[in-house]
Amino acid sequence: MDIQTMILGFLMNQDMTGYDIRQKFDMSFGFFSGLSYGSIYPALKKMEAAGLITTQLMIQEGAPNKKLCAVTDKGREAFHEAMRAPLGLDKYKNSFMARLFFFAHLEPYERRELAVNYMNSLDKMFEKLREYEPIIRAHADPFELLCFECGLRFAEDVMSNMQNTVKALEESGLDKN
């Protein structure tokens, strides 16, 4: 799903500022989407120019002004069209797996270091998921909760595969000089 459709989806439920969208994005798609925060604000500008959203400047005393974004009828139509489009099979992209394929070209200590560092990154991601879990469980609708739980299981599978990979490196001696 592209950033525009995600933003429209958020705005289908309520008007939001760019900051609110960033927060919602972080909690919902940040763990399994290749999109970044940096793509949100340019997308909002394009969407406003295309008539998919409107923005209203909110003047605040003692704080920076905010722009409140709202979806238009045209934006609702674009969202529904994107949601109803047939799904293709996603290609799973994983930088570690691509490197693993070429591990023969690394020194044994480098293989282990890369694998362990990647596992540590996954651990940090799990910490963040667990931090968000109570918030998501308290506020998510049933479909958002299903999405979170599916993403959590997917992340657990990735971690399990990494643990198995590190174990195989250790047992085979491929991580030692």
Parse the chain into domains and list their residue ranges.
3-84, 95-172
Cβ atoms within 10 Å of 4's Cβ, excluding its own: 20
Structure tokens at 127: 């910490």
What is the secondary structure of 139-167 as a DSSP string?
A: H--HHHHHHHHHHHHHHHHHHHHHHHHHH
Most distant CA pair in the chain: distance in Å?
65
Q: How does DSSP classify residue 32?
A: T
Identify the CA nearest to 69 among candidates 139, 1, 22.
22
Does CATH place domain 3-84 in 3.40.50.720? no
Distances, alpha carbon 92 to alpha carbons 10, 59, 83, 95, 144, in Å: 25, 44, 21, 10, 21
| Tens digit of pLDDT at every position of the chain (177 positions) | 888 999 999 999 999 998 899 888 877 877 667 666 678 889 999 999 999 999 999 998 998 889 999 999 999 999 999 999 999 887 777 889 899 999 999 998 899 899 989 999 988 888 888 888 999 899 889 998 998 898 888 888 989 999 998 888 888 877 676
CA distance 36 to 6: 12
- The per-residue pLDDT for 169 is 85
Q: What is the pLDDT of residue 11?
A: 97
Angle, CA of 101, 103 and 153, to the nearest 5°: 55
